[in-house]
Amino acid sequence: NAGVTQTPKFQVLKTGQSMTLQCAQDMNHNSMYWYRQDPGMGLRLIYYSASEGTTDKGEVPNGYNVSRLNKREFSLRLESAAPSQTSVYFCASIQDLGSRPQYFGPGTRLTVT
């Protein structure tokens, strides 16, 4: 099993450009999450999907949209990138909701100039 995979690994965008970060998991997990990690801030939840067909906002959703394409895939879209969105983005998944840990993908390092 590959676990949680993310593409691309690195990306540089100019202000105003758009892009989609892809995430896929092969563990048959129901719930998936997108986080961003910034120095001194810890990981912050952007959006999550409790199950296929549902998505909800997390702590910092502004400037992002998500799509739960199917059970395996959960994408994050930046419609008009801003320098404040320079960060490392992690996708995570878990079998179902409950008090269990999440498993993370390797991350996407995004720089917006």
Binding site for other proteins (CB under 8 A): 31, 40-45, 48, 50, 56, 58, 90, 94, 97-107, 109
In angstroms, give the least distance from the CB of 99 to other proteins.
Answer: 4
Q: What is the DSSP string of 39-102?
A: TTTEEEEEEEESSTT--EE-S--TTEEEEE-SSSBEEEEESS--GGG-EEEEEEEESSSSS---
Nearer to other proteins, 17 or 71 (CB): 71
| Nearer Cβ to other proteins (11/17) | 11
- Minimum distance of other proteins from residue 87's CB (angstroms): 13
Distance CA 41, CA 32 (A): 21
> Is the Cβ of residue 79 or residue 96 nearer to other proteins in the bound state?
96
Q: How far is the CB of 106 from other proteins (least distance, A)?
A: 5
Note the Cα 59 to chain centre separation in Å: 13
Considering the complex, state which of residue 18 and residue 95 has its C-beta at the smaller distance from other proteins.
95
- On whether the CB atoms of residues 31 and 94 are closer than 8 A, the answer is yes
End-to-end Cα, the chain, rounded Å: 36
The distance of closest approach from Cβ of residue 39 to other proteins in the complex, given in angstroms and rounded to an integer, is 9
